[in-house]
Structure 1
Amino acid sequence: MTRQAKGSTMNKPFAKRLTESRGRQGLWILPLLLLMAIAVVLSLRTGQFLTLQNLANLIAQAMPLVITAIGQMFVIVVGGLDLSVGSVISFTTAVLALDAPGYVLVPAVFVLAALIGATNGLVVTRLNVHPIIATLAMQYVVLGVTRILRPVSGGTVPDTVISSVAGSFLGLPMPVFWGAAVVLLAWKLLHGSRFGLHLFAIGGGIAAGTEDAARNFGVPTRRNIMLAYVACSCFAALAGVFLAGRIVSGDPNVGLLFELDAITAVAIGGTQLSGGIGSLHGTIVGALVLALMSNGMNLLNVSPFIQTAIKGGILLLVVGLQSRKKMGL
């Protein structure tokens, strides 16, 4: 490296060097190191952390956030945002707690989630409403319907849903198989299909200020953005199914603040909120960082209100470290 090149590297702002991306996957090594550091600190501070029971609980607690964050990444990659995912999660649990067979309710929640996502996508792409406004409005609509269906927690979830979450198989907890299936599906969609390639192309153009770049190369921009919102809502519904199996009831408040946690996890994992840059493994690492922090703070008896404040501060920090010139918010 020449002296000039070394000088240009040293002269870069610290925030820019921390958040500098490598290709299309973004910076995810730093969050991985943070995850490992948190695990080491917790293992030294409390003897409960490395117990089998706590690790099993950690996996089960992290799974809904991992699923929701993966879905949120589909939308963020194209420069969007979905604030309705928390309400979709609560709505899913409320529908599953209705008095009907599981083979009717489970497909129904995904059909309804797809309709919610399609509506978000149509409002954003056809009516040109900002994603924050469009999905915030949908959040209130879905939450209102949820509270009509289930004003308070209760009801009975189908046994098939409960059995798919509880217990173990081949000596491993069921959430492990949920995680493997979700990651394989998301990897195929994001990194192993033309659909994923199109999402990154659309987001890259939006981040660069040339929104028509992907369309000029024949990419159906509006259709793919709408499908990204559909995927986001369907992943949120999947997280809702998992949560319904865990709490064995419908709960109108169970999805509260999941949207902010999911956005924070995606941002921690190196995905640029301006679009076009990110990776599935980075998003998973970001979700695990938040889950590990929550688990550790619970073990250390940190107040839930302080935990919420800390999460808000983390979101502000990771967003502030991203380039303002490319920020689409």
Structure 2
Amino acid sequence: MTATIRSFLTGSAGRQGLWLLPLAITLLIGIVLAIRSPLFLTHENLLNLVAQAMPLLIAAIGQMFVIVVGGLDLSVGSVISFTTAVLALGGPAYLLIPLVLVLAAVIGFTNGFVISRFKVHPIIATLAMQYIVLGLARILRPVSGGDVPRAVIDAVSGSLLGVPYPVFWGILIVALAWKLVHGSRFGLHLFAIGGGAASGTDDAARNFGVPSGRTVILAYVVCSCFAALAGIFLAGRIVSGDPNVGLLFELDAITAVAIGGTQLSGGVGSLHGTIIGALLLAILSNGMNMTGVSPFIQTAIKGGILLLVVGLQRRRKMGL
């Protein structure tokens, strides 16, 4: 009985990790907020909650790909800021949107190549990239401003048949990620490589014919492209380019992924768990904002949550 409860709490029973407990906590927080604040379930607040959660959800899903493979990407926030800066240059959407996705893919490829080929630790490689991309964003847009294409703004703030566009963003992003994780060989390779890394046998997947180097590079490319999508959404929402809008986004994304049961050592995790983790953080932030909790206290709470969920995860060696 004790082993069963521990398995439930730690998510050690399978490859999907801990996600039932975060789901229960998310529902509990939602119920408490609905009881304590009559504004929580209002139409306006729910729409605002969806819009607030969407960038984090997109960035967290992208981060999940590199964490499952046993990596980490600290350049996500800078990619988001850089994306908004490029989109605010004042060009047509049909040129700027493909441009930011290509640039994001180049950033992700560079991260993955340095990590897989030169064996640089993911934290060091992506931290260096974080500074590089952040510097470029501040060169392009020293302060907030610029002209975001109207098509980007309309894609975020409009609605179709009474359904806000952010809802469609969420459906499309989740469908794309689900296809990559569960409907492709790429998804299987991610878990194979991550499982080997978590157990200390980094060459296990390669010995079975899995192209580990190519898969790791592709995981970082996917992560950066999802960060660019989050940046596109944010640019449309704030209607400007902002070199600081992505600050600490990478930590929120990592926290959301970890809350959803993905082990930071790799090999264990799920898409639905990541979605739950992002929603939990979004609902928690929304509730604390409504109750007047200081942003500094909110940051401290997020750090405590990250430490707690990582501490619950089982690992065979010291490290992530």
Task: Report the TM range for the smaller structure's normalisation.
Answer: over 0.9
- Counting matched residue pairs gives 320
Matched with 1:68 is 59
Matched with 2:174 is 183
Q: Equivalents in 1 of 2:317, 2:180: separation in Å?
A: 25
Matched with 2:205 is 214
> Within the alignment, does 1:139 sit opposite 2:139 as a pair?
no
Counterpart amino acid of residue 9 in structure 1 = A
Matched with 1:130 is 121
> Within the alignment, does 1:157 sit opposite 2:148 as a pair?
yes
Q: Equivalents in 1 of 2:44, 2:210: separation in Å?
A: 48
- CA displacement at 1:9 relative to structure 2: 2.5
- CA displacement at 1:17 relative to structure 2: 5.5
Unaligned runs of 5+ residues in structure 2 are none
Q: Which stretch shows the higher mean deviation, 208-217 or 229-238?
A: 208-217
CA RMSD of aligned residues (A): 1.3
Unaligned runs of 5+ residues in structure 1 are 1-5
> Within the alignment, does 1:281 sit opposite 2:272 as a pair?
yes
Query: TM-score, normalised on structure 2?
Result: 0.98
- CA displacement at 1:326 relative to structure 2: 4.4
Structure 1 runs (4+) greater than 6 angstroms displaced:
none
Q: Deviations over 1:247-274 (max 9, x none)?
A: 0000011101100000000000000111
Q: Equivalents in 1 of 2:57, 2:201: separation in Å?
A: 31
- CA displacement at 1:321 relative to structure 2: 1.4
Q: Equivalents in 1 of 2:319, 2:163: separation in Å?
A: 42
Q: Equivalents in 1 of 2:37, 2:317: separation in Å?
A: 41
Specify which of 33, 51, 59 is matched with residue 50 of structure 2: 59
Specify which of 74, 84, 97 is matched with residue 88 of structure 2: 97
Matched with 1:3 is none
Q: Equivalents in 2 of 1:143, 1:208: separation in Å?
A: 34
Counterpart amino acid of residue 230 in structure 1 = V
> Within the alignment, does 1:270 sit opposite 2:261 as a pair?
yes
SS at match of 1:265: helix
Does the 8 A contact of 2:49 with 2:286 survive in 1? yes
SS at match of 2:316: helix
Counterpart amino acid of residue 132 in structure 1 = I
- CA displacement at 1:81 relative to structure 2: 0.2
Counterpart amino acid of residue 177 in structure 1 = F
Counterpart amino acid of residue 223 in structure 1 = R
SS at match of 1:325: coil
Query: TM-score, normalised on structure 1?
Result: 0.95
Counterpart amino acid of residue 184 in structure 1 = A
Matched with 1:239 is 230
Specify which of 100, 109, 117 is matched with residue 109 of structure 1: 100
Does the 8 A contact of 1:62 with 1:287 survive in 2? yes
Specify which of 73, 80, 94 is matched with residue 71 of structure 2: 80
Does the 8 A contact of 2:198 with 2:315 survive in 1? no
Does the 8 A contact of 2:11 with 2:19 survive in 1? no
- CA displacement at 1:187 relative to structure 2: 0.1
Q: Deviations over 1:171-211 (max 9, x none)?
A: 11100000000000000001111000100111011111111
Q: Deviations over 1:23-65 (max 9, x none)?
A: 2111210000000000001001111000000000000000000
Specify which of 9, 16, 20 is matched with residue 3 of structure 2: 9
Counterpart amino acid of residue 195 in structure 2 = G
Identity %: 75
Does the 8 A contact of 1:157 with 1:249 survive in 2? yes
Does the 8 A contact of 1:71 with 1:235 survive in 2? yes
- CA displacement at 1:328 relative to structure 2: 4.1
| Residues 12-23 of structure 1: pairs in structure 2 closer than 5 A | 18-23=9-14
Does the 8 A contact of 1:162 with 1:245 survive in 2? yes
Q: Equivalents in 1 of 2:162, 2:3: separation in Å?
A: 50
Q: Equivalents in 1 of 2:310, 2:121: separation in Å?
A: 18
Does the 8 A contact of 1:85 with 1:139 survive in 2? yes
> Within the alignment, does 1:316 sit opposite 2:307 as a pair?
yes
Q: Which stretch shows the higher mean deviation, 238-247 or 96-105?
A: 96-105
> Within the alignment, does 1:292 sit opposite 2:286 as a pair?
no
Q: Which stretch shows the higher mean deviation, 273-282 or 22-31?
A: 22-31
SS at match of 1:323: coil
Q: Equivalents in 1 of 2:38, 2:275: separation in Å?
A: 26
Specify which of 245, 262, 267 is matched with residue 254 of structure 1: 245
Q: Equivalents in 1 of 2:104, 2:12: separation in Å?
A: 33
Q: Equivalents in 1 of 2:315, 2:118: separation in Å?
A: 26
| Residues 169-208 of structure 1: pairs in structure 2 closer than 5 A | 169-208=160-199
Does the 8 A contact of 1:79 with 1:328 survive in 2? no
